[in-house]
Structure 1
C-alpha cells in the first residue's frame, strides 16, 4: 500500500482533464495547465468565444500553446512503472488494484469502447494497429445510450409500480368505505330489530293483560253461578222436605185444609244458567281472532312509529316519547326551521319508508266521547259484535283493540250543531295518513295525492277522503282508532277501523321518494296517539 500510493499520485498528475487519459503530446497554455495537444485543439475549434482554461477558467490564446517535451518523457516513465506494477502476481497487488477490471492483454485499465468491434479497450489497445483506425469513445460516453434505455425502462417500471400502488390504495379506500357502510348496516339492523322486539313486548303485554281480564271474568262468573246454584238447591230442598212431610200426614189432617195443596206449593221457574256467558264467549272468539292476526302480522316487518317534533307546527305539542300530540293554541316555536309545517298544523313521522310494508294505528281522542271503560261496559251488555276482517289488509294487521262502533255524548251533538250553524258543513279536525318527504311545508296546502298526501279527513262525526280539491264523504261516523297500512312496493295505502278491522278506504298510487306517516290536527279538544 505504501509503494502504490506515490505511483497513484504521480498517475493523477499526468492525466488530461479533458479526455481523462494519459497525456498524449502534452502542451501547456497561458495559465500553465497541461492538456493533450489534440484535446486542446478540439476545444479551440469547437467554440468561437474567448478561449478559457477548463480547470481555472483563465483566458488563453491559441497561438500561445506550447509543447512540454519533459512532460511527455515523464508520462512515458510513469506508464512503464504502471505496466510493471500490473505484471506483478495477483496476490502481491494492493487490495484496491485487484478489484479493478483490466485489459486481458496489457493489464491496463479499460477506458475506451470500440464501436466497430464492440470491445472495451485500454490505451495500448486503442493505439494498436488493430484498433487505431476504428471509432473508439470513452466508456462513459459509449454507455450513455444503454444507460438512457435502462433509465427509460426504469421510468416505465416505476410508473407501473406507482399505478399498482395507487390502485391498491384506491381499492383499500373503497373496501374500507364498504366495510364502514356494513358497520352502519349492522347498527341499523340492531336498531330495527330492537324496535321489533319492543313492538312484540308491547303486544305480548297487551295480550296477557287481556287474557288476565278474561280469566278473571270467567272466574267471577263461575263463583256467581256456584253461589246462585247453591241457593236454589237449598230453596228446593226446603220445599221438598216440607212436601214430603205433608205427604206422610194422616188423611184426617191432610183433609182438614180443603184447598189445593199443589197450588199452595207452586213450582217456580227454577234458576239455570249457562256455564259461560255469551259475552265471554264472544270476547274469547275475538281474542282467538287476534292471535290469528298476530301470526299474520309477524310475517311482515313492524317498526316503531314515532313523530318527528322538528317537523311539527308551532301550535302542536309532541310528547317526549313521540307517540302523541296535542293542539295547544299557543305558539311554542318562535324560530321556525325549514322542515316545519307553517301555517298548517301538521307533523311527519320520524322514519320514512322506501320499500316493504308497515302498519300502525292512530287513536283519535275527543273530550265528549265515552271513556274506554264506558264503551266496554256497553259492549258487554250486548253491543253490536265487531267484524274482525283481517283479510282486507292482506297480512298487514298486528294486534288491535276490538271495540264496537262509536257512540257520542250529547255534548258532541251540541258541538256539531253549533259548527253546522256557523260554517254550514262538518268541520275537519284532523287528517291521518302518509305524505311524501318532498311535500311543500309553507303556506296553505291541498292534501291530495297529486300534492304528495294520501290522507283521511276526520270531522267530528264524518270521514272524508282527500283525493281531489273537493273531499267526499265515505263514512257517516268517526272511528276512534284508524289503522294505516302502507305497502310501498305495491303502491297502496289502506285505512281500516282499527277496533273493528272494518275496511274504510284504499289509495292506489305508485310511490316515489321516501314516504312518512303524517298527522294534522287543529282542534284544542283533541289528541292523536300513535299505536303501537
Structure 2
C-alpha cells in the first residue's frame, strides 16, 4: 500500500477535470488550469463565452497553450501504471495480492459463479459446491456491469456538460443584461441632462425677456418723472405770475390783459397720457400668455412623465352581462348609450337593475393602472369646458395623456341603437331628483361585490368610487348628498387606480389637472364602472 500511494497521488494530479481520465494533449487556459485539448475544445464549441470548469472564469479560445512537459509526465505515469499491472503476483505487496487471490487456495481469481454471485479461482471452480453452477470468466461476467457503469458515466458526463453549458449561457445573458443596464443608466443621464439644459435655456430666455421689460418700464417711468417735473416747474412759474398779476390794480390789469398770459403759457395734455405705454402693455400681456402656456405645458409634461413611468395604461372592455337592459353596448365593447328599449331578453344575475350601470370585464387586486373615458354629452354645450378653463386658475396637475378631440358618430359600432323620434319619453319617466329631472353620468370604479338590485347609493361605503358628471359640473358622492367640485365638465376623464396605495385619482385627460382623489384601502377585486341615464349621450372607454 505504501508503494502504491505515491503513484495514486500522481495519478490524481494528471487527470482531466472534464473527462476524469489521463490528460491527453494537455493544454492550459487563462486561469492556469489544465485540461485535455479535446475536452476544452468541446467547451469552447458549446458556448459563446467559455468558462473554466473549475473556477468558472471566462477565457479566450485563442489563449489556449499546450503544456509539453506535462504531456511527457503523464506518459511516464501511464507507463509506471502499466508496469505495475504487469508485475508478477508474488512480487506485489501482500495487501495487493490479497485483493486478487483466493484466500482459501491462494490462487488468482479467474471465474465468476452466477448462482452464488462469487468470484472463483481454478480450484474453487472444480470444487463440489460450484462444479454444476453457471460459471463464466471474470471479464465476461463483469462486461454487463462495465457497460452499465460506462453508460451511466456517459449520462453523468452529459449532465455535467449540459449544466456547464447552461451556466455559461446564463452567465453570458446576465453579463449582456448588465451591460444593457449600464447603457440604460447612461441614457437616463443623457436624456435628463438634455432636458435640464433645455429648461435652463428657456429659463434664461424668459428672465432676459423680463429684464428687458423691466428696463423699458424703468426708462419710461424716468421719462415720465422728468416730464412731470418739468411740467410742475412750468406750471409753478405760471401760477406765480398769475398770482402776481391777480394782485395788481385794475388799471395795470386792464393795460396788460390776463388772456395774453394764458396764451403765452398754453395748457399741455401731458397728464392725460397713459401711465404705461401701449407697446409695453402689449409686451407684458404677451409675456403673461407665455407664462400661462409654460405652466400648462409643464403640468402636462410632469403628468405624462409620472403616468407613463408609474402607471400602466390598459385597454378596458365592458362586460355586457353586467349592463343594464336599457344600455346599448357597442360591438367592440368600448362604448355605451342609453336607449328607451330593453336591449336583452336574457336575465343575468350580474346585471344592474334598475340602475343603468355596467362594469368592465377586467378587475384588479394589485398594481397601478390608468384608463380614460370620453363623455359625449349632447344635453349640454361642448364649449362649457373651454369657457370654464379660460377663467379658472390654481388647479393642481397629476399626470398627462393624449387629447383626442371630437366625438364618434352616435351610431358607430352599436348592436342596436334603440332610438326613436320621441326620445324624451323615457327621460320623463325616469324618477326626478329633488324635484328636478337629473341628467348625469357616473365614471369610476366599483367593488365586484356591490349590490346589483334596486336603487343604490354610489358612495365608498357601498363600494363605489365615482365622479358625477352633468351640465352643472362635476360632483362627488361621499355621503347622502353629492357636493360640487367643478362648475364645468371635462370632455375626457382620466381614471388612475392605485390598488396597493388605496387611491382612485380622477384627472382632466386633456390637461392632466387633478379633479378629485379618493383615498381608501380596497378589499377584493375592483372593476371599472360606468353609469348613464341620459338619452342622446354616450360614454366611451379609451384606449
TM class, shorter-length: 0.3 to 0.5
Name the TM-score, length of structure 2 as normaliser. 0.40
Q: Of the two, which has the highest radius of gyration? A: 1
TM-score (norm 1): 0.41
